[in-house]
A and B are shown apart, each in its own frame.
Chain A
Amino acid sequence: MTKPSVTQTTNSWPHNALLSLVLLVGALHPLALQADESATNVAEKNARCLRCHGMETLRYQELATGKMRDFHVDAHKFSQSNHGQQGCVTCHKGDFAALPHRPENTDQYHSCADCHTGEKVLQRMRLVGITAQYKKSVHVQRGVSGFDCFSCHNPHESRLEEIKTPEGNIVDRDNDVCLKCHGTRESAEEKHRIIPKAPLHLKEVRCLECHTPRPGSVIHAIEPAARAERTCEACHSRDSILLTKLYKYRLHESERRTGFINGVVLSDFYVIGMTRHPLLDALGILGMGGAFVGVMFHGIGRWLAARRRQNHET
């Protein structure tokens, strides 16, 4: 970010007054967006965009496609996001002087890889692997028009700290992304009637858990519905796929806190087949196995005793 620079100072009041007037008029004019960044700070410049784009109602429905176009940016979430210190025009290219903006300018913006370059950065952000996964996704394979990173990831709100977000919030947030294009919660529940307790499953886990390949955390290679995970054991087992996806970042906590196998998920839910206690498992096996062995020995003892009695009698 460039620091505002002072190019010239003077003590003459008529000069200052004139300069202030020019700056005021300039600041109010849309053309000011293209003014030299050093003239004012980023937040002030962004505020000009947010005067309109901060309004929740800044959206319209495209007549040709029927799709809702949303141009609203949550100013608070943007300021808290990892991109919050960037100027709007750092990423949005084009001429925004005219109001309303010309359509050819509205869809021009930099992609993630335009800014996040260099081997170390790419490695840290795992962008290479993510790009490879993304290219295999159904959205790319089927050439969904206008689909890119920002169709799912909102650069105005994304934060690296979200990794620490409670899983329940992650589920809601991620599923809402899918439902932006794939109907409503009700329609999703209807489509997933094959799953027992569909509303509960859709509330507790992400669409991504079943609609991405297993094993591993390849959550950007979203698969077509026909290839979705359909076996219950994928999650309801000791090696649940939830551990490599939703709970990937908390895997290390697994058994330490509760003593349960896969205990990391217990703060959110008990999963039959996945969350088990090794001691209870051993107790069950020993109890039932012990009963079986016990009655077997008792039976053999009875048989041997009966034979001995018979031999005595004869």
Chain B
Amino acid sequence: MKPDSMTHQKVMLYPLWVRIWHWCNAVIFILLLASGISLHFADPSSPLIPFAVARVIHNLSGLCLTLGFVLYVVNNGRSGNFRHYWPVFRGLVGRIMKQSDYYARGIFLGLPHPIAPTWEQKFNPLQQLTYLAIMYLLVPLVIVTGFMLWVPEWAPGQVLGMDGLWPAAVLHYLLAVALGIFFITHLYLITVGETMTSQIKKMLTGWEEISIHKENDHERR
């Protein structure tokens, strides 16, 4: 892309519904992780959250996560926000390498972000693939297995000679670990914007400065 054909402009990349959903999800994630850890590692002598309380928190938060997920999927499709999640496969590997190199090396050298957000693709390729996997694979699976644990009658009767709930429980646990790892790295990556607070400001206000073609400028207004 020739630089003289590009211009920078502040656009609304995170509409209100995305921001509300995002911050609700942040609270739900914290509640689910804390209560889930308390339930899985339940210990009467040193409970993080007492089992009876953790059960209620986990179930209610799980319901909120499900409701939020359904609204998110519907709105994502209707508003066109899904375009940010679907990768442009052409040159994808190269962009992944470029972004990985930035996190492994460039960021320490103070180099600029290698892939700037655009109107079509606001996420960098690593973000994009991670969010796609989280929101369209891991979260639905954690919801389904969570409901099986909540209503054990929905789980198969027996699997490999043991109670049919165990594969659901193991998968739910592994998904929770993966989502926990995502949550920790996601929190850290808030700090890797242009400034320490630019990412969080973006997610509060919804505005982001993007590079756009001069000839398409009118479409973003």
The interface of chain A, by Cβ under 8 A from chain B, is 196, 200, 231-234, 236-238, 258, 260, 266-270, 272-277, 280-281, 283-284, 287-288, 290-292, 294-295, 298-299, 301-302, 305-306, 309
Contact = CB atoms under 8 A, between A and B. Distances in A.
A275 B170 CA distance: 10
Interface stretch (B3-11, B37-45, B84-92, B208-216): B37-45
A78 B211 CA distance: 88
B166 A270 contact: yes
Contacts, number: 102
A267 B180 contact: no
Contacts of B163: 266-270
A266 B160 CA distance: 11
Q: From DSSP, what is the main secondary structure of chain B's interface residues?
A: helix
A291 B152 contact: no
Q: How large is the interface on B (under 10, 10 to 19, 20 to 34, 35 or more residues)?
A: 35 or more
Nearest to B158: A267
Contacts of A277: 170
Contact of A288 (B55, B152, B184): B184
A291 B40 contact: no
A232 B51 contact: yes
Nearest to B173: A280
Nearest to B169: A270
A275 to B, nearest CB: 7
A276 B40 CA distance: 8
Contacts of B110: 305-306, 309
B1 interface: no
12 contacts: A196-B55, A232-B55, A233-B51, A237-B42, A270-B165, A272-B40, A273-B39, A275-B166, A280-B170, A284-B173, A288-B180, A305-B110
Nearest to B104: A298
B39 A272 contact: yes
B42 A283 contact: no
B47 A288 contact: no
B184 A295 contact: yes
Contacts of A232: 42, 50-52, 55
A270 B163 CA distance: 6
A231 B51 contact: yes
A12 B216 CA distance: 129
Nearest to B178: A287
A270 B158 CA distance: 11
B166 to A, nearest CB: 5
Given A232-B51, A280-B170, A305-B108, A273 B41 contact: yes
A249 B103 CA distance: 56
Contacts of B50: 231-233
For the complex of A and B, list the 9 residue pairs with the smallest distance between their C-beta atoms, beginning with the closest.
A273-B42, A295-B188, A232-B51, A233-B44, A305-B108, A270-B165, A291-B181, A266-B162, A291-B184
A291 B186 CA distance: 10
A309 B185 CA distance: 25
Given A196-B55, A287-B180, A292-B184, A234 B44 contact: yes
Contacts of B181: 287-288, 290-291
Contacts of B40: 272-273, 276
Given A288-B177, A305-B109, A306-B110, A237 B166 contact: no
Interface string B46-61: 0100111001000000
A269 B165 contact: yes
A274 B44 CA distance: 12
Interface in B177-197: 177-178, 180-181, 184-185, 187-188, 191-192
